[in-house]
Structures are given as structure tokens and as C-alpha cells.
Structure 1
Amino acid sequence: MILKSNKFKNINEYISNNTDLNICIITHCYPPDFGAAPHQYAHMAESFRSIGHNVTVLTSHPYYPTGKLSYRDFFKLRRHVNINNVDVYRHWLIPSQKNSAFFRLLSMVTMLLSMLTSISLLRKRKIDVVIVQTPPITLPLLGILLKRLQNIKLVLNVSDLWPQAMVDLGSIKTGSFAYKILHRLEKFYYNKADFIITQSDETKNYIQNLGYKDVFLYRIGADINVFYPRKNANRNGKLKIVYTGVLGVAHGIFDLIKTVPFDALDCELHIYGDGIEERKIRNYIISKSLKNVILHPKVFYKEIPEVVKKYDVALISQKKYVKGTLPAKLYESLSLGMPVLFHGQGEGELLVTKHQCGFTSRPDNLEQFIKNIKALQRLSDKEHQQLSVRSRKAAVNNYDRDLQFSTFYEALKTVTESLIYV
């Protein structure tokens, strides 16, 4: 059984009803940057464009997740490209290659300073709506400045909570001077926004508990027509687990291969991705002569569906619990009809349990993680197929990317009504 999309609305239906808006999206990452967030912004920009609005994107030169600029971009303050009929202006920054608060702040400040050179461009384009991502914590300042200079609506997309995330990661403590300053800045941004969107219920509830009621849940979701299940989900041979995504400290893949005996368990872990821990992972596999942990070359985003379909189970891993975070690759795994091996905590864990589409374990409980692998190995083909069907059903009914955009756009129209209906 393979479920197909049942969209309640096609975004092209909006074309005849709307006056063109000039929309600006400000984000630190945009394709070809790697990861789900860049592709969410690309989908948002292209969806706005497809229903007749004019879209300008301000972003940085490609650097994520390697933390490196190309030689050409390092000497270029701003570069204009057109991607799928969307004007994208890429800006210089000093990318952060170290897990250091100083280097991260330096990266965010240099990105903001270079983007300030595009203010005259945005004023000439008579921007009506600015959608700004935070973090980085500096970018909302650009949106607030534009709001003061001209009559625009400011939409704040809170993709991660800060300073709460810094507390969860152990960087600062609640009640510290740094926390108090950042918390004031956080609430200042919320006060200035005309509309707040976020990607998880946990983040939405956090912001609402601060007294800001107009918060909209806009999940990243997945393109259910691209991330489509394979026809035959039956397994052949040993259990094959796949991880796709960023290979960073927060994801904990390096720690997993050091502590979980995949060779002894007689199951394979296939890794596709890039990031600051990629070299450490590669060297460890070679030094320990691991046969069942295979690090593959990074694949382009459009290739992920066909790559993941070859395997039996999708691994989602988080090293630490950070309030409000939800790995976006979970949606793509569900859409592909993949049973999920979730090693983390928070809303992702709750969704896997809610939809009964996999097994979960906490980051501090490797024993349970290993038990879950063994449970997956014992599944019959029928039981494996049942997990697959539940995954796909959850994606189609709840996490269709076009459906997410349609509901977001309906909510946004209540904020921009005076601009749209003139």
C-alpha cells in the first residue's frame, strides 16, 4: 500500500485573487547550501513567485555546513544570481569554522554588515513584506531597520530558540549577564515583529508563554511528490541503516560510531553528508577497520530520495536536547515511507511515538539504542511494511510542504491584508 498526496488546495489557485507584493526573505543560508533550512526558504521563495509575487532573497555566500567560502566568494562583497526566477543576492561574511561563541558572533556581525549594503536596493524595489530568519541573532536588526525606513510588514521566522538553546548546550547559564542581555534582545525582536512563525510546537509554546500570542506553526515538511516510497519495501540480507545530513557536533554521528558496535551487531550504517566532523568520522572508520560503517560522498539534495530508498531504516540523531529543535530530515524520512530510528529527545521523539513509525532512544541511553536496532532486525517483512505505511501516511496527512505553505500563506494574508487587497 502506497499513499498518494491528497492536497486540499493548490497554491496556483491564489494567482487570480492577489495583488503583487514585493517580498524580501533574509536568511543566512540558501541553496546550494546543504541541509533542510536552505531548501525550505527556496520552496517559500519559489512558491511566492509562482503565485505572482516578486521575491528578493538576501543571503550569504554558500558556506554551510563546511564553514568555508570559495576563493571567488572570499573576495566578493555581493553577488547576484537568479535561481528559478528568484533574485538572490549573496553577501560576504567570515564563516565560523570553530565551535566558539566569538567566531559565531563574528560571522553573524560580518554577515549583517555586508547585507546593509543592500538596503538601497530593497528601497528601490519598494519591499512590502520582509521575512527574516533568526538565528542568526543579528539579522532581525536589518528587518527592523527596513521597517523604520519604509512601511513594511516584518515577519520573524524563529527557527531556533535563543538564548535558550545556548543554555541547553551549556554555553551560558540562566540568570547570567549574557543571558539577560540576549533575552531582552529576543523579546525586543518579538515586539517589533508583525507576525512570528516557527517550525515546532515547542518553540511556539515557548514564545506564547512569553506573552506573544500571534505565533504560527509553519513546519518545514517535505515534498511528498519527490520524496516518494519505493515500491518494494522488503529487506534483503542484513539491516541497513542510513543517515543523511550535516555531520556536526550536535548530531553526534561520530560519537555513535565510536560507541555502538555496528560490526558486532551485524548491521550496516551508511552515512551521507558533510560537516566539521566528516574528516574525524572518515579517519576513525579507517583506523578501526570498520566494515559495517560506510561513509559515502556527499550527495546533492535532489539525489537524496533515490539514495535513501535503497536502505531499510532512517537514522535521526541529536547529541543533546535543545528546546524547540526538530530535525527536518524526519519529515523527508516519513515521506519516503522509512521506518525511523530516532536517537534524541524533544518534539521529534514525540512525533515518532505519536505516528508509531519507528523506535526512539534518548542520547544518554545507548543501551536502548542498541535494543532498538535488534528489534528492527527481528521485524518481519509485514511488520516493517506496517511501519513504512504509517510513516508515509503521517507525511501526506500532516507534513506536505505545499500544504504547509498554503496554510502559512492564508495566515500571512491576515497580516498583509491592507497591502494585498488595495
Structure 2
Amino acid sequence: MKIWILNAVALKPNESGITRHYDLAQGMKKKGHDIRIFASSFLVYHFKWRDPNRKNYSENVNGVWFEWLWNLPYKGNGVKRVFNMISYFIMVLFRGLFSKENPDVVVGSSVHLFACLAGYFLARWKKAAYIVELRDLWPRTLIDFGAMSEKHPAAIMFGAIEKFVYKKADRIIVTLPGAVDYIESFGVKRENIYVISNGIDLERRYEIDYGTPIKSELEQIRKKHKKIAMYVGAHGMANALHSIVDTAKEMDPEQVAFVFVGDGPEKEILRKASEGYNHIYFFEPVAKKEVMATLAEADVLIVSMLNTKLYRFGISLNKLNDYLLSGKPILFAGNVYNNIVEMANAGVTVEPENKEAMKNGLDNLLSLTNEEREEIKESSFKYVSAHHDIEKLADKFIEACQTNKEEGNKHESTYA
């Protein structure tokens, strides 16, 4: 099959962030399928151009074609962000409409729903199957985070697009296992909903040999503090990193250092909140191939979530796949539909945004014996290989794309 994937924020494998579609494309390519990903050439998480000298171009990345599209640049979270989404919608329609290639399947993938909407028109023009992929539930995510009310014009607009694409999709892929009932409430048949979580290439466990660019700094940190608790990932509001900083302030500096690796809009706020505490450290993001070696330097890894009802639909965090593959004990502060850390027996779960609970959980993990740490490592790998192996998820993605619109979709719901 020829599959087009519309994802405005898709990334290449050497870039820091979510590479879901490249990873899936590699798995599908091995099965003989051709994948083309339409993405923005403006990096919205960094508010900069991928290549300042080129805005519209094609690139072959290890056999996966990326169509980079000019999108309206912006900063912050104002009205220009919506115009950026609309510009993606227009540009991807233009590029796709005039492409000589005729895909068998068009997948419109959120974060934002304009990618899903564009997927509908391209699928109809190209007479292809139309798949909607949901990695966030817009506008429900924005409403539950308190970013806007139910009656906000943007919420109404996204709500209308949401209903439209659900109705028109031949099938729907969602990364959140708890969202099936929500999507079904829009009249979507349950058998047309596939739950395909984010995954990881299990071969990445060998990337520890690449080393980490912050190794010397971490060695110096370990000379000052007995152990290292680490967070690697985005520094955004949803990551609730303020909870980790507040917990760090309650911990003995001689016993443990807190290391944050990554970038995001909350980073400078967190830095300022950590002033005067010499056991809290911040580092720039590392390349994807350096993540495993970076995680290997930690004694405990931390994931912190907001205490919000949004996670009643579940989570599918890429960082958790990295954490599990590293085999390190995980402190998970969250209240979610699918507690992956608990299911994998990979660490300790505590109440989110509760520094006392996080402190107690961290004390527990820092005092594990070598035998207990080895048990966690084995259990983590067993779970991630069973449920998040990118090769297996690519097979599920292919199955979801194999629709027969004339005969209908007569299969059982597939969960991964």
C-alpha cells in the first residue's frame, strides 16, 4: 500500500521529540509498504524553521519520504497558533492535490484537527481510504486542562471538526485506550476503532554505546550527591515538573541530586524556582540516539503528571517507553486509566502533585537492593516488548489501514 500520513509535528529520527510516524513507517516499509509523511517545516515546539534556507521541499529519510511544508511561523499560544494550523491545512491540500502519486490510504493525525480535516479532502480527491488518528482529544484536552471553556469559539470550532471527521472516517486509530467509549459516543462503531499506542524499537537498548554528551557533568554531580533522580523529556505545563522541583526541595542534597534533561516553555520558570538549591540541575535536550545512555546514568527515573480528569482516557507517553527499555526504577506520579508503570511492575506509583507522596516514593526506590532493581529491569523489558514493540504496532497500523469501504469493516476491535 501507499500510505500518506498527515502530521504537522512529525519529526526525523535524529530530532528530539516524538518520532512515532517515522518509527511506524520503518516497520511498515519492511513489509513492502510506501510511506509519505506531510509535516511542517516550522518546528512549533521550538518556534524556529527546521532549515532557514528551505521551507517547501521533499526529503528521503532512510526510505521514508517527508514532505516539508511552509507554515505560518508564530510564538506563544495566541491566535497565530490557530493560523499556523490553518496554514498547514491549506499547504498540505495544495501539495497533496498536485502530487502525481495516488495513495491507497490517507491518515490525518492530530495533535491538531486541521490535519484530520485535510486528510478527509485528500482521501476523497485521491479516492483513498480515510483514516483518522487521534493522539490527543481536541477540544477535550484543551477544556480539561482549563485552557478554554466549552463555549470558547475555538472549542466550538474544534468540536465541529471533531464530529465531522469521526463521522467521515473509515476507521479511527487512537493512542489512548480509555478513549474508545468517548469516540463511540459520537456514533462511531466500536469495531472501527483501533487502539495503537506509541512504541519503541527494541534495538534501541543497544544505543547505550553511543554515550551521553553530559557524562562528565553527571560524573561531577555524582561526586557531590550519592544518587541521581532524573527526568528526560519535554518541559511543559502538562509535565507537572513543578511537583518534582517541590519534592527536590524536601530531599537531602547529600543523598540525591535531581537532573532535568530537555526543553520547553516551563524550563526557565523551573530554573528560577530552583535557585538556591545546589542539588537541582538542568541540561539541554540530548539527541534521540543518546537518550538510552543518558537514562543509564540515573538511579531513578521520574514521570510527573497533572492531577486532572483528562487522564481518565489514558496515556501513551514516549518517555515511558524509553524509561521501560532502560530498565531503571520509575517513580510515577499520576492518576491515569492505564497505569503502565504498575502493569509493568516497573516502580512505584504515587498521587500526582503531592510532594510528600513523591518524597516517600522516591525514598522507597532509592533504597532498593540490587536484586530488586534487577527484577524491575527484567519485568520492564518483558512488558515493553509485549505491548510497545514498534514492529508489532506497525503490523496493527497496517491492519487498520486495510479497509474495504464497499464491504464494510467486519473485524473485531484491535488493542495494542
The TM-score, its normalising length taken from structure 2, stands at 0.84
Q: Quick one: distance in 1 between partners of 2:68 and 2:374?
A: 44
| 1:250 counterpart SS class | helix
Segments of 5+ residues of structure 2 without an aligned counterpart are 210-221, 408-416
2:231 match: secondary structure? strand
Given candidates 345, 350, 355, the residue that maps to 1:361 is 350
Cα 1:177–1:333 shift into 2, 3 Å:
same
The residue aligned with 2:316 is 326
Distance 2:282 2:152 in 1: 41
Which residue of 1 is the match for residue 178 of structure 2?
202
Question: Is 1:109 the equivalent of 2:96?
Answer: no
What is the alpha-carbon root mean square deviation over aligned residues? 2.8
1:156 maps to 2:144: no
Alpha-carbon contact 1:228-1:336 (below 8 Å) kept: no
Query: Contact 2:36 / 2:64 at 8 angstroms: preserved in 1?
Result: yes
Helix, strand or coil: the match of 2:353? coil
Q: 2:231 maps to which residue?
A: 243
Establish whether residue 407 from structure 1 lines up as the match of residue 399 from structure 2.
Answer: no
1:289-308 paired onto structure 2 within 5 Å: 290-308=277-295
**Pair 1:376–1:162, CA change in 2 (3 A):** same
Deviation string 1:388-418 (CA, Å, 9 cap, x unpaired) is 2221111122221111112332343344899
Percent of matched pairs sharing the same residue:
23
In the alignment, what sits opposite 2:97? 120
Output the CA distance in 2 between the equivalents of 1:179 and 1:309: 42
1:279 has 2:268 as partner = yes
Give the whole-Å Cα distance in 1 for the aligned partners of 2:237 and 2:187.
33
Question: Paired residue for 1:83, among 55, 61, 69?
Answer: 61
Match of 2:45 in 1: 65
Alignment partner of 2:24 out of 30, 44, 69 = 44
Q: 1:200 to 1:361 in 2, by over 3 A?
A: same
Structure 2 SS opposite 1:131: strand
After superposition, the C-alpha distances for 1:313-356 in whole angstroms (9 at most, x for unaligned) are 221122343343432211221122122111222135x2222232
Partner of 2:382: 393
| CA distance 1:97–1:342, change in 2 (3 Å) | farther
Deviation at 1:305, TM superposition (A): 1.0
Q: Deviations over 1:1-35 (max 9, x none)?
A: xxxxxxxxxxxxxxxxxxxx222111012224855
**SS of equivalent to 1:82:** strand
* Equivalent pairs, count: 387
Residue 410 and residue 181 in structure 1: after superposition, are their counterparts in 2 closer, same or farther (change >3 A)?
closer
Letter in 1 for 2:97: S
Q: What's the secondary structure of 2:113's corresponding residue?
A: coil
Checking the alignment, whether the CA contact within 8 Å between 1:34 and 1:65 is kept in structure 2 is: no
Q: CA deviation digits over 1:246-288, x for unaligned, max 9? A: 1112212245324531653531222211222233344554x32
> Which deviates more from structure 2 when the two are superposed, residues 128-137 or residues 261-270?
261-270
Gaps of 5+ in 1: 1-20
CA distance in 2, matches of 1:93, 1:229: 34
Which of 197, 204, 218 pairs up with 2:196?
218
